[in-house]
């Protein structure tokens, strides 16, 4: 296999070095972004100034020529060494992607490099030999199985079937061939699930007219069409059975793009998938990589005027705006329904609008056109303050970082302002054409997760209940009185089967109260649950205002008379309620009662978990030593710190918390 190292990125604003005066504000400029990227490459400054790269790529991703522009950018970035980038910027954790397949796939490297760089991930690609996919999947010594390979891409096309058919052939021959190929893929996926350490990615296969129309009768064409769809459905079902497998469905990508391939390149160079389709595929793989690293966004913040409805409320009044009944209004209504659909799946919705608050609330409560209502939003900031400041306010009130935010607005000025002052926010630049709002919002899969959990569906309601808790806090004399009145109840016990997806999600998405930032997939959680001596504990909480569900997890293992705590995590929604202290009081008591003499733990500092650096010392752990390699997302000066507890004097459980702890 050939190894290609490719380049990095973490966010910085578009035009961050340009002055902001009065006028239209920062504008997306694809030509300017390309020129700036070429200048960085020419001066050899990409590695040193990598924070500019994602913003430049974000500009290039706008417009009809986005995929071609990103391909060109990817070729520049592919010259950089991810190891050198990581050495300069420890927060830019490199990824390794092994690529195998049936046809010639050289054109995939550049768009993959660009798409990964958009999400702050330097990339090393390992490209296999032509048509070696079956051998690569069978051989555990191939780079697909190499430790440290994050994604193993096996990119297939229709030739794996039609290239093996006899001449002449009929639907019955195709049926036998696809059944054999599906059985082969099932075996190979199972083999990878058993021996691989990364995520295997397969894809559905396009059915081309040139094959379908070799059958001259309509009945045979119909038979081939439905057996091909059953073949693709079978490939998709493999992902349900194998947790280390992901399947990219090429059909929607083909529907949105151009032809599947160029027939001349397919005939002469064995390029069976075209450059634009490969670029769209690369974008999906970039989204997958971001998801696997726990970087899914949590909050969608939307503007109102000419974003959720047609018109300007302050000028036109409630009777002059529309989200239904007119041609343009219907397009805005469709956008509202899409936003609400996202909200129903755990995406937190908020408003950031330059408007007077009371008229906005009146529209959201009573206007007949609205698909979105006041109750759909966890926060409504409608005032005349700068929008970057309002986004900071929303983040503070939700106890989330702005890097969890997506901001959608039709104003180039507001989009430029937010991109410049809050580069961690992902900006969706809408425009005057509301029919395109949905496509622009969904283009980058900002909210993608591997699996939706019950907690996801309840998240918005849980955040809204925070207002009731805040009301209780405001009416009590002290924080201690508030905690006693809250009535916190905690359940600590081994993770149940239906909670595995949620616990894996916590390891991926929790950054603040995450002592080691070790990320786990569902298969990893299952493996630990099945391992003798391991404790994989779910932390569940509720109080007088409702059930918070699974809010944390503890990973530990017993070796003789030593309890090793591998990681501790807690959702930011339930900070400062005594939950974490109660959990450890129960855990350490159980360890001592079952013969342990020592508990050991560690803390790996990152840019986001600094607030828990003193967590273990606060429970009576003594610092043993500091050192070792920093984690991938560690702060530059972050070295792992090790702690030990003699289990002689255990921490006290906070008196206001009721704990139900079971360890088997």
pLDDT top residue among 357 and 255: 357
- Looking at residue 637, its pLDDT comes to 44
Query: Structure tokens of 423?
Result: 């580069």
Question: What are φ and ψ of residue 425, in 5° steps?
Answer: -80, 135
The full set of domains in the chain, from first to last, is 2-292 (3.40.50.1110), 299-442 (3.40.50.1000), 457-661 (3.40.630.30)
Average pLDDT over residues 351-379: 95
Residue 659 is classified by DSSP as: E
pLDDT of residue 574: 78
pTM for the structure as a whole: 0.80
Give residue 267's pLDDT.
63
State the first-to-last Cα distance of the chain, in angstroms, to the nearest integer. Answer: 47
Q: Is the confidence at residue 506, as pLDDT, over 70?
A: yes
The residue behind tokens 């009573």 is 366
User: Minimal CA–CA distance to 590: which of 650, 639, 525?
Assistant: 650
Backbone angles phi, psi at 550, to 5 degrees: -75, 115
pLDDT value of position 27: 42
Between 584 and 18, residue with greater pLDDT: 584
Residue 349 confidence (pLDDT) above 90:
yes
Cβ atoms 556, 587 nearer than 8 A? yes
Name the most confidently modeled range: 5-19, 20-34, 585-599.
585-599
SS3 1: coil
Maximum mean pLDDT: which of 15-29, 461-475, 593-607 = 593-607
**How far from 496 is each of 229, 244, 553, 565, CA to CA, in Å?**
36, 20, 12, 20
Mean pLDDT of 481-489: 85
Q: Which residue has the tokens 């059985």?
A: 183
Q: Does residue 440 have a pLDDT over 50?
A: yes
Mean pLDDT over the full length of the chain: 87
At residue 415, the pLDDT reads 93
pLDDT at 3 over 60: no
| Interatomic CA distance for residues 323 and 327, integer angstroms | 9
Sign of the CA dihedral 284, 287, 293, 299?
Answer: negative
390: left (phi over 0), alpha (psi -120 to 50) or beta: alpha
Asked whether the bond before 168 is cis by omega within 30 degrees of 0, the reply is: yes
User: Between 632 and 485, whose confidence is greater?
Assistant: 485
Residue range 405-425: average pLDDT?
94
Question: Which burial class, exposed, middle or buried, applies to 84 when counting CB atoms under 10 A from its CB (0-12, 13-18, 19+)?
Answer: middle
Query: For residue 268, what pLDDT is reported?
Result: 58
Q: Where does the pLDDT of residue 269 fall: very low under 50, low under 70, confident under 90, or very high at 90 and above?
A: low
pLDDT score for 2 = 53
Q: What is the rounded distance in angstroms from the CA atom of residue 86 to the CA atom of residue 7? A: 10
- Segment 371-386 shows an average pLDDT of 95
**Burial label, 227 (beta-carbon count in 10 A; 0-12, 13-18, 19+):** middle
Percent of the chain's residues with pLDDT above 90: 59
CB 607 within 8 A of CB 560: no
DSSP for 486-540, please give it: HTEEEEEEEPPGGGHHHHHHHHHH--SEESS-----HHHHHHHHHSTTEEEEEEE
What's residue 24's pLDDT? Answer: 37
> Which residues lie below 8 Å from residue 618, measured CB to CB, with a gap of 6+?
581
Structure tokens at 507: 């390891």
Range 154-168 average pLDDT: 93
Strands 640-645 and 546-559: unpaired
Helix (H) or strand (E) holding 431: none
For residue 367, give the nearest of 307, 325, 306, 327 by alpha carbon: 325
Return the minimum-mean-pLDDT range out of 162-176, 246-260, 436-450: 246-260
pLDDT band at 272 (very low <50, low <70, confident <90, very high): low
Contact 646, 597 (CB under 8 A): yes
pLDDT at 13 over 80: no
**How do 562-570 and 598-603 pair as beta strands?**
parallel
DSSP, collapsed to helix, strand or coil, labels residue 37 as helix
Question: What is the Cα–Cα distance from 235 to 545, expressed in whole angstroms?
Answer: 44
**pLDDT value at position 632?**
44
Mean predicted confidence (pLDDT) in 279-296: 92
Give the residue-averaged pLDDT of 481-502.
Answer: 89
- When pLDDT is averaged across residues 43-53 and rounded to a whole number, the result is 89
Strand partners, 408: 302, 428
354 bridge partner residues: 383
Closest CA to 541 of 616, 483, 612: 483
Q: What is the pLDDT of residue 222?
A: 96
């Amino acid at each position: 296999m050939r190894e290609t190292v490719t380049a990095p990125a973490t966010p910085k604003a578009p035009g961050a070095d340009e002055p902001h005066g009065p006028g239209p504000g920062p504008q997306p400029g694809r030509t300017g972004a390309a020129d700036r990227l070429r200048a960085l490459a020419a001066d050899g400054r990409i590695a040193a100034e990598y924070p500019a790269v994602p913003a430049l790529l974000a500009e290039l991703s706008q417009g009809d020529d986005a995929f071609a522009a990103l391909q060109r950018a990817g070729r520049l970035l592919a010259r950089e060494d991810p190891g050198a980038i990581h050495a300069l910027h420890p927060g830019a954790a490199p990824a390794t992607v092994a690529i195998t397949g049936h046809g010639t796939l050289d054109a995939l490297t550049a768009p993959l490099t660009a798409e990964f760089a958009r999400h702050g991930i330097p990339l090393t690609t390992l490209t296999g030999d032509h048509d070696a996919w079956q051998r690569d999947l069978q051989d555990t010594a191939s780079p697909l199985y190499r430790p440290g390979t994050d994604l193993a891409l096996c990119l297939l096309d229709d030739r794996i079937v039609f290239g093996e058919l006899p001449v002449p052939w009929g639907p019955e021959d195709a049926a036998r061939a696809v059944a054999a190929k599906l059985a082969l893929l099932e075996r190979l996926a199972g083999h990878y699930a058993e021996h691989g350490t990364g995520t295997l990615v397969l894809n559905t296969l396009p059915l081309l007219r040139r094959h379908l129309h070799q059958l001259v009768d309509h009945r045979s064409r119909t038979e081939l069409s439905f057996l091909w769809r059953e073949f693709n459905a079978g490939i998709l079902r493999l992902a349900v059975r194998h947790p280390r497998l992901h399947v990219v469905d090429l059909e929607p990508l083909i529907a949105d793009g151009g032809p599947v391939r160029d027939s001349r390149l397919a005939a002469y160079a064995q390029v069976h998938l075209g450059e634009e389709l490969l670029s769209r595929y690369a974008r999906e793989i970039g989204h997958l990589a971001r998801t696997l690293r726990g970087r899914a966004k949590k909050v969608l913040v939307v503007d109102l005027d000419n974003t959720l409805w047609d018109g300007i409320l302050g000028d036109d009044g409630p009777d002059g705006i529309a989200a239904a009944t007119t041609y343009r209004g219907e397009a805005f209504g469709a956008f509202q329904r899409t936003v609400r659909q996202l909200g129903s799946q755990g995406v937190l919705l908020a408003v950031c609008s330059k408007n007077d608050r009371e008229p906005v609330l009146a529209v959201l409560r009573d206007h007949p056109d609205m698909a979105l209502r006041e109750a759909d939003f966890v926060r409504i900031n409608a005032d005349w303050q700068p929008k970057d400041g309002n986004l900071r306010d929303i983040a503070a009130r939700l106890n989330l970082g702005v890097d969890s935010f997506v901001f959608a607005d039709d104003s180039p000025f507001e989009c430029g302002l937010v991109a410049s002052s809050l580069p961690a926010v992902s900006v969706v630049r809408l425009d005057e054409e509301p029919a395109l709002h949905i496509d622009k919002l969904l283009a980058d899969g900002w909210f993608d997760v591997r699996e939706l959990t019950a907690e996801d569906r309840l998240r918005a309601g849980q955040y809204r209940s925070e207002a009731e808790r805040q009301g209780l806090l405001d009416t009590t004399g002290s924080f201690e009185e508030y905690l006693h009145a809250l009535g916190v109840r905690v359940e600590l016990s081994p993770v149940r089967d239906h909670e595995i997806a949620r616990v894996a999600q916590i390891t991926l998405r929790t950054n603040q109260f995450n002592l080691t930032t070790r990320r786990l997939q569902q298969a990893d959680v299952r493996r630990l649950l099945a391992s003798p001596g391991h404790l994989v504990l779910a932390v569940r909480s509720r109080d007088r205002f409702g059930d918070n569900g699974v809010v944390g997890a503890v990973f530990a293992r017993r070796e003789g008379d030593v309890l090793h705590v591998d990681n501790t995590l807690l959702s930011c929604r339930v900070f400062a309620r005594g939950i974490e202290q109660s959990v450890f009081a129960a855990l350490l008591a159980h360890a001592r009662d079952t013969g342990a003499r020592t508990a050991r733990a560690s803390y790996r500092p990152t840019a986001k978990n600094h607030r828990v650096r003193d967590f273990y010392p606060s429970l009576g752990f003594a610092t043993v030593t500091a050192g070792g390699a920093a984690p991938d997302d560690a702060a530059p000066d972050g070295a792992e710190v090790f702690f030990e507890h003699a289990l002689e004097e255990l921490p006290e459980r906070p008196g206001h918390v009721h704990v139900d702890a079971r360890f088997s």
